[in-house]
Amino acid sequence: MIDVGRICMKTAGRESGKFCVILDVLEDGFVLVTGPKAATTVKRRKCSIHHVEPTPEAVKIKKNATDDEVLAVYKKDGLFEKLGVKAPSAKDIEKAKDAERKRIAGAKAAKEKPKPEKPAPEKKEEPKKEEPKEAPKEEKPEPKPEKKGKPKPEKKGHKPKERKPEKKPAAKKKTEKKKAKK
């Protein structure tokens, strides 16, 4: 029942409750699905077969079809009406295409970004015996100059309060409470 062109409903994730089309059956129980995004907001992605519920509807599409091809089949077969999905406007389709182009361009840029080469490990030469050198002089950090300026004026009549620990009233024992109730 899980085959290319099968209309399914996503049952898990942020796209749950949305319709999608299976584009490819992958190994280990995964499928490649698309909404397409312009129509049902389901992105082209890898999805577990446990997260899709197949419907009796299927369309004839080739394996790994583009979103444009899927949209054309939706229109041709009248699936927008059958599934109760609003057909996307030309503006929505263009937005989805732009987003896909940006995503692909970003992925290509990240892939083409040259990795910094690691320098070749330097060969260690045997240390030559030299006469001991004088120990380097230790430099003492210079003390920071004190701030010279006007001292902060104290507020008139303001003295910090001395805090005394508060005494909590002793808790009554259970027996005293019982006696009080009687």
Question: What is the domain-level CATH number for residue 68?
Answer: 2.30.30.30
| Predicted local confidence at residue 168, as pLDDT | 66
* Structural domain of 89: 6-111
- Domain presence at residue 92: yes
- Return the minimum-mean-pLDDT range out of 20-29, 59-68, 94-103: 94-103
Report the C-alpha gap between 3 and 87 in whole angstroms.
24
* pTM of the complete model beyond 0.85: no
Q: How many domains are there within the chain?
A: 1
- Domain presence at residue 135: no
| Predicted local confidence at residue 21, as pLDDT | 92
- Domain presence at residue 118: no
- Domain presence at residue 32: yes
- Domain presence at residue 31: yes
As given in the structure block, the two tokens for residue 8 are: 């399914």
Note the pLDDT tens digit of each residue in 136-172: 666 666 666 666 666 666 666 666 667 677 766 666 5
Identify the helix (H) or strand (E) that includes residue 48.
strand 45-48
Higher-confidence position of 176 and 164: 164
| Predicted local confidence at residue 11, as pLDDT | 92
| Predicted local confidence at residue 48, as pLDDT | 92
As given in the structure block, the two tokens for residue 21 are: 């089309």
- Domain presence at residue 97: yes
Decide: 36 and 12 in contact? Cβ < 8 Å. no
Torsion of CA 14, 18, 21, 22, to 10 degrees: 40
| Predicted local confidence at residue 51, as pLDDT | 92
- Domain presence at residue 13: yes
Note the pLDDT tens digit of each residue in 105-135: 777 777 776 666 666 566 666 666 666 666 6
- Collapsed DSSP state (helix, strand, coil) of residue 47: strand
Note the pLDDT tens digit of each residue in 31-80: 999 888 878 888 888 999 999 999 998 889 999 888 888 888 888 888 87
